[in-house]
């Protein structure tokens, strides 16, 4: 039995279209669970329903083994960190951290004990007497975290807690939150729109779009075997390269967007026979071609030098594809460059339903190696 169980949870406002549609999900105890999706996908609404800040239109929500649909937030034994931190501007850091404990009438000695423990762990001991406006963004974030840690609730909800921080600090806080969660063993439900955050932090990820679950799974599974076109394009940076593909059995050729021709050995590779197929290939699977294995020559339309890797963009039909090559490559815009595209690196999707037909084999192999 998971710690949180959602059964057919739906949400609609004013009897209109469902914002969330029959969500079935179970979150394990001690798990770092990430809800990810574009804005308006309903991920924050779902989190707020778990917190009890939003009514549940239909379905059952269980925390532990108890149905909590109609319990007020305070009786759900959870803590929450908000995007804007929700610190009380008129209270000092210390008062802010102890605010919830006062409301719950925890005795003073216990409060002080927890305060000292938590602030030492979070490195806030020096700042206790300051007001929130005298703190930097990262410090405010830490105070908000400390407030939720000090409550010792077994379940912690986070609503895009890092989106107000700059990129560098975000990376650092990402690690801190992750370490904290592991150390305290709490169950964490974390909402973000940033797929990098989702990939790096989550034990499991749920991708949400338009109020519907797209896929639930481990980060690496989502990356290697995206359940549909939406997950494929949402997870991973740069995003997966896609194109419509037509299989010509007579020539043993796969034609992508009327532009790329791939030779196929029908004996080894069983290409799915669907009328409308979309293929996807990860940027790192578009290898630079060597004398022996070059399959195509492409014309470069943009180059991004990242230092440790090079992103090369080129056109395939109407789409722009990106190849990610490790190391530094001296490539100029307009240059013709050899690449190696292998059929086993292609993911096949049904264009009509968007569902995955066949994942890339190379990805799977990697998983076995790293496991």
User: Which stretches of the chain bind other proteins, using CB under 8 A?
Assistant: 51-53, 72-75, 78-80, 82-84, 86-90, 99-100, 103-104, 132-133, 147, 151
Q: Of 150 and 256, which CB lies nearer to other proteins in the complex structure?
A: 150
The residues facing 337 across adjacent strands are: 298
Q: Of 55 and 299, which CB lies nearer to other proteins in the complex structure?
A: 55
CB of 164 to other proteins, least distance (A): 10
Residues 151, 95: Cα–Cα separation, whole Å = 13
Q: CA of 326: how far to CAs of 102, 237, 296, 305, 352, in Å?
A: 54, 14, 19, 10, 35
Phi, psi of 191 (to 5 degrees): -105, 135
Residues 85, 135: Cα–Cα separation, whole Å = 12
CB of 61 within 8 A of CB of 9? yes
The residues facing 20 across adjacent strands are: 11
Residues 191, 205: Cα–Cα separation, whole Å = 10
CB of 118 to other proteins, least distance (A): 15
CB of 102 to other proteins, least distance (A): 8
Residues 281, 314: Cα–Cα separation, whole Å = 14
CA angle 293, 299, 303 (to 5 degrees): 100
Tell which residue, 105, 347, 339, has the closest CA to residue 228: 347
Residues 256, 122: Cα–Cα separation, whole Å = 53
CB of 64 to other proteins, least distance (A): 17
CB of 14 to other proteins, least distance (A): 12
CB of 23 within 8 A of CB of 8? yes
CB of 185 to other proteins, least distance (A): 20
CB of 77 to other proteins, least distance (A): 10
| Residue 109 CB neighbour total at 10 angstroms | 8
Tell which residue, 124, 150, 148, has the closest CA to residue 136: 124
Find the length of the chain: 371
CB of 51 to other proteins, least distance (A): 6
Helices 108-122 and 137-150: crossing angle, nearest 10°? 140
Q: Which stretch of DSSP H or E encloses residue 14?
A: none
DSSP 8-state class, residue 226: -
Instruction: Strands of 218-295 (E only): list them.
Output: 241-248, 253-256, 260-263, 277-281, 287-288
CB of 34 to other proteins, least distance (A): 20
């Amino acid at each position: 039995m998971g710690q949180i169980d959602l059964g057919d949870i739906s949400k609609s406002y004013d009897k209109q279209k469902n914002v969330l549609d029959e969500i079935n999900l179970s979150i394990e105890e001690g798990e770092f669970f990430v809800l990810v999706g574009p804005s308006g996908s309903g991920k924050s609404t779902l989190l707020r329903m778990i917190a009890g800040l939003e009514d549940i239109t239909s379905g059952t929500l269980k925390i532990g083994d108890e149905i909590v649909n109609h319990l007020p937030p305070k009786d759900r034994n959870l803590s929450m960190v908000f995007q804007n931190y929700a610190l009380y501007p008129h209270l000092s850091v210390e008062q802010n951290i102890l605010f919830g404990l006062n409301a719950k009438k925890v005795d003073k000695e216990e409060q002080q004990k927890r305060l000292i423990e938590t602030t030492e762990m979070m490195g806030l001991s020096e700042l206790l007497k300051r007001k929130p406006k005298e703190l930097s963004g990262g410090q405010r974030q830490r105070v908000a975290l400390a407030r939720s840690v000090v409550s010792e609730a077994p379940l912690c909800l986070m609503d895009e807690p890092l989106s107000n921080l700059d990129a560098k600090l975000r990376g650092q806080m990402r690690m801190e939150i992750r370490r904290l969660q592991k150390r305290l063993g709490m169950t964490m439900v974390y909402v973000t729109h940033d797929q990098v955050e989702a990939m790096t932090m989550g034990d499991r990820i749920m991708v949400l779009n338009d109020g519907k679950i797209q896929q639930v799974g481990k980060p690496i599974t989502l990356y290697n075997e995206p359940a549909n076109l939406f997950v494929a394009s949402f997870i991973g940076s740069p995003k997966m390269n896609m194109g419509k593909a037509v299989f010509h059995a007579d020539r043993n050729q796969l034609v992508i967007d009327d532009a790329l021709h791939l030779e196929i050995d029908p004996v080894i590779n069983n290409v799915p026979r669907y009328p409308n197929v979309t293929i996807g290939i990860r940027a790192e699977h578009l290898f630079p071609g060597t004398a022996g294995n070059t399959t195509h020559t492409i014309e470069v339309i943009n180059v991004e030098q990242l230092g440790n890797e090079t992103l090369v963009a080129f056109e395939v039909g109407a789409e722009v594809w990106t190849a990610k090559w490790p190391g530094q490559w001296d490539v100029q815009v307009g240059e013709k460059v050899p690449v190696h595209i292998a059929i086993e690196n292609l993911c096949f999707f049904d264009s009509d339903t968007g569902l995955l037909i066949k994942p890339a084999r190379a990805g799977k192999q990697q998983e076995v190696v790293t496991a």
